[in-house]
A and B are shown apart, each in its own frame.
Chain A
Amino acid sequence: MSEQKLQSQTVQTTGHAWDGDLQEYNNPLPAWWVYTFYATVIFSIVYWIIYPSWPIGKNWIGGVSKITYVNSEGETKTHSWNTRALLLKDLNKAAVEQKPYFDKVSAMSYEQIAKDPEMNGFILSSGKTLFADNCAPCHQAGGQGMVGFFPNLTDDDWLYGGSFDAIHTTLTGGRRGYMPSFNEVLEGGQIDQLANYVASLSGIQHDGAKAAAGNALFHGNAAACYVCHGSDAKGRKEIGAPNLTDNIWLWADVPATEAQGKVAVIRGVIANGLNKGVMPAWADRLSPEQIKVLTVYVHELGGGQ
């Protein structure tokens, strides 16, 4: 009550009266607020003039502020200011800063790069980014691959060879792993024997008699596994035929955790063959320097050969 009384003493009314005594207080906005509001109006007009603002159909008013950048084709473009162009301009700047390093990469041999501490640091950081952008979708962020789909790059087993040159060839031209299906060539029992033999090569629990029969099949001409995997079953890197005697499993390990399950998966691989070991070619997508950086990076991931 007392506050109302006080207010009526100090605050003016608008001067109108309705229904006899109904009046409205006149509480104008504070001056600083009004002037701040006017300032924002002026600011927005200046902003419209300088920066892109109003849309007109599919186009827009560009504003007087311009930005110049070099696009991916190497052409210099000038455009009204926008954040996309700003990003490209920033990328241009980064590319200029990276250039001396990439120049060094193309001038040096693989061995020189691997031994130079500064270049090694550059490979570890730029290689990581390139790997994450291009390779990680299949081979995973750390290069650990995915059993049954994509090979692990961090172990010491290299399907197509782990030398700098072999890795470079793989990256440039891509690879296509292929194993024929033996479903129609061999009987079910024979496939079972072969599976047990392959399991025996890695010391996995197996049926001894079946494995002995499988040994004969492996080296015989009916199945002729040795043609690709070699008579010692250690594989042939020229065609990417894997070593069957080691502990590395790419295709026949999922989801088997027990020995019997593993034999069953091996049998499936022999029966149905494989046609999914596809590595795309990167020669058209990455620059030679980038491929060189990735070569050294991947070489280091698995310790190389």
Chain B
Amino acid sequence: MQKGLEEQLGLYQKRIPIFTRSVQGPFRRFKTAMLVLAFAVYFLLPWLPWSRLDAPAQAILFDLPGRRFLIFELTVYPQNVIWLALLLFIAAILLFFVTGLVGRAFCGYFCFQTLWTDFFIWIEHKVQGERPARVRLYRQPWDREKIIKIGSTHALWVLASFWTGLTFVAYFTYAPQLVVDFFTGQAAAAAYITIGILTLSTYAAAGLMREQICTYVCPYGRFQSVMYEPETLAVHYDARRGEAAHGRATARAGQRTLAERHEKGLGDCVDCGLCVQVCPTGIDIRDGLQYKCISCGLCIDACNSIMDSFNYPRGLIRYDSEKNLGAAVPAAPRVQWKRLKTVGYGAALILMSATLAYSIGTRGSFDRAVNQIRQPLYVVLSNGDIRNRYQIRITNKVGEEQTYLISARGIPGEALDLGNFREITVKPGHSGLVQASVRLSPQQAAQIRHFEIVITPRGKPAEARSEAVRFDGPGRRP
């Protein structure tokens, strides 16, 4: 189907329609399992109830007006932005790590473009039939049958896209209320706009553009390609076995058994073309590793089914590494991880995941920031004493009002002056601000450079947290 370069000299190549044939095998089963799992999580999660004191009973709720994300028992505030940074870092490193080992596994099995396209093709298949029926329908004039079948396919796609958009918005507001509000015209404008955009983009990306997103739009495929190494496992056609001395040939009489074929110098590939027909990006894997391949493994399933029917050994198309394929006697393909890059990514992955888990596991019930006031850094008082001031901000992260006691460690008790606020009561999700000043004699100031401000929730001494701060004075370099 690929056109020659000479014919492509125009600026834009017209899309060549792809009608994928369905296939059965372990990779298809894995893809289906991933699709069901991912859709179950995505579409059902916003409906999971979770009892809360101060928010709607929804397990996952990204409460933008309240400036917090509610994720089961965890409440994430903007101050926890480091978790998001860690999560993004982990996701990026995981992608690099996996790509170095088994190629574009993300593209083939987990990417939402792949999942939704797979789902849309499934709808198309259910409505219009198997590949030959769809090709016939495509070629026939616009009669009653074609209008009904194509029309209902697109209608179902739009419906699926709409529910995708609605589900996305349901993560940001109380889901049952959203559905009611949406259909009674009561939902927020942002909800209508977001659902509209997502419906359109899902319909366009999964229904109309499909593999063009991967080929022309998505940057991940391109930069994953440069992470391939000779040891990386990827979907390969064993050209040496498939082509042999005189190339591939159909399995006609006289060249049907392996013995006959090997005698004639023919390869094991019977040129049935099934690997091309099942490919969602419409490529021929036998042309070698190429950037359009999303490494979904469907051609492996297709080829193995043909090999089985001819009683040839399986694995003419298989997961293998370039290095192994190039070896004089290829060994059994296996994941090769003993490389500095892979080990390094693995170590970074473990380290960052542990950091994230530790950070979430040891999160306090409140957030605190103790900032020294820097304008001026210190003040010399009338009797020669030196005063530093600090601004203490306490954010209450639990669901009820809490009183916090503020004290200091490492300075004489009377040096800390909190004015009227030795303790402060903060509403849930709110912040309280206290101005503290510390006054030391010149002799003390010469010795004390650091001390700690301790914040203790009343009645919960175990949750006390301390913050180390500086004490500045004259003649000291800041």
Is B432's CB under 8 angstroms from A246's CB? no
Is B376's CB under 8 angstroms from A124's CB? no
Q: Which of B9, B425, B426, B435 contacts A124 (CB 8 A)?
A: B435
Is B432's CB under 8 angstroms from A142's CB? no
Given contacts A115-B420, A246-B383, A247-B381, contact A144 B375 (CB under 8 A): yes
Bound together, the chains give a CA A125 to CA B417 distance in angstroms of: 20
Interfacial chain B residues near A154, Cβ < 8 Å: 376, 379, 387, 389
Bound together, the chains give a CA A303 to CA B433 distance in angstroms of: 16
Closest to A249 in B: B380
Is B419's CB under 8 angstroms from A247's CB? no
Interfacial chain B residues near A243, Cβ < 8 Å: 382
Q: Which of A115, A144, A156, A300 contacts B376 (CB 8 A)?
A: A144
Given contacts A114-B419, A124-B433, A155-B381, contact A142 B375 (CB under 8 A): yes
Interfacial chain A residues near B426, Cβ < 8 Å: 117
B91 interfacial by beta-carbon distance below 8 Å: no
B6 interfacial by beta-carbon distance below 8 Å: yes
A7 interfacial by beta-carbon distance below 8 Å: yes
Is B419's CB under 8 angstroms from A155's CB? no
Q: Measured between C-beta atoms, what is the minimum distance from B478 to chain A in Å?
A: 14
Interfacial chain A residues near B434, Cβ < 8 Å: 120
Is A117's CB under 8 angstroms from B382's CB? no
B459 interfacial by beta-carbon distance below 8 Å: no
Is B6's CB under 8 angstroms from A142's CB? no
Closest to A157 in B: B382
A188 interfacial by beta-carbon distance below 8 Å: no
Is A246's CB under 8 angstroms from B382's CB? yes
The interface size of chain A toward B, counting residues with CB under 8 Å, comes to: 28
Closest to A7 in B: B9
Q: Which of A117, A140, A142 contacts B373 (CB 8 A)?
A: A142
B327 interfacial by beta-carbon distance below 8 Å: no
Bound together, the chains give a CA A20 to CA B419 distance in angstroms of: 97
Bound together, the chains give a CA A218 to CA B131 distance in angstroms of: 111
Interfacial chain B residues near A117, Cβ < 8 Å: 421, 424-426, 432
Is B420's CB under 8 angstroms from A114's CB? yes
Interfacial chain B residues near A3, Cβ < 8 Å: 9
Given contacts A120-B421, A154-B389, contact A300 B435 (CB under 8 A): yes
Closest to A158 in B: B382
Q: Which of A10, A143, A155, A156 contacts B9 (CB 8 A)?
A: A10
Interfacial chain B residues near A10, Cβ < 8 Å: 9-10
Q: Which of B373, B382, B435 contacts A156 (CB 8 A)?
A: B382
A86 interfacial by beta-carbon distance below 8 Å: no
B358 interfacial by beta-carbon distance below 8 Å: no
Q: In the complex, which range does the number of interface residues on chain B fall in?
A: 20 to 34
B384 interfacial by beta-carbon distance below 8 Å: yes
B183 interfacial by beta-carbon distance below 8 Å: no
Mostly helix, strand, loop or mixed at chain A's interface? loop
Chain A, range 84-139, C-beta contacts under 8 Å to B: 114-115, 117, 120-121, 124-125
Given contacts A247-B382, A247-B383, A300-B435, contact A142 B376 (CB under 8 A): yes
Bound together, the chains give a CA A44 to CA B380 distance in angstroms of: 63
Q: Which of B6, B375, B380, B424 contacts A155 (CB 8 A)?
A: B380
A193 interfacial by beta-carbon distance below 8 Å: no
B374 interfacial by beta-carbon distance below 8 Å: yes
Chain B, range 343-395, C-beta contacts under 8 Å to A: 373-376, 379-384, 387, 389, 391
Is A142's CB under 8 angstroms from B435's CB? no
Q: Which of B9, B373, B381 contacts A6 (CB 8 A)?
A: B9
Interfacial chain A residues near B437, Cβ < 8 Å: 303
A152 interfacial by beta-carbon distance below 8 Å: yes
B 1-31 to A, binary, CB cutoff 8 A, 1 in contact else 0: 0000010011110000000000000000000
Interfacial chain A residues near B433, Cβ < 8 Å: 120-121, 124-125
Interfacial chain A residues near B383, Cβ < 8 Å: 246-247
Interfacial chain A residues near B373, Cβ < 8 Å: 142
Q: Measured between C-beta atoms, what is the minimum distance from B422 to chain A in Å?
A: 12
A41 interfacial by beta-carbon distance below 8 Å: no
Interfacial chain B residues near A30, Cβ < 8 Å: 11-12
Interfacial chain B residues near A125, Cβ < 8 Å: 433
Q: Measured between C-beta atoms, what is the minimum distance from A151 to chain B in Å?
A: 12
Is B425's CB under 8 angstroms from A142's CB? no
Interfacial chain A residues near B379, Cβ < 8 Å: 144, 152, 154-155
Interfacial chain B residues near A152, Cβ < 8 Å: 376, 379
Closest to B384 in A: A247
Interfacial chain A residues near B432, Cβ < 8 Å: 117, 121
Chain A, range 232-274, C-beta contacts under 8 Å to B: 243, 246-248
Which residues of B are interface residues toward A (Cβ below 8 A)?
6, 9-12, 373-376, 379-384, 387, 389, 391, 417, 419-421, 424-426, 431-435, 437
A selection of 18 A-B contacts at a CB cut-off of 8 Å is A6-B9, A10-B10, A30-B11, A114-B419, A117-B425, A124-B433, A143-B375, A154-B376, A155-B382, A157-B381, A243-B382, A246-B383, A247-B380, A247-B381, A247-B382, A300-B419, A303-B387, A303-B417
Give the 7 A-B residue pairs with the shortest CB-CB distance, closest first: A142-B375, A246-B382, A144-B376, A121-B433, A115-B420, A155-B379, A157-B382
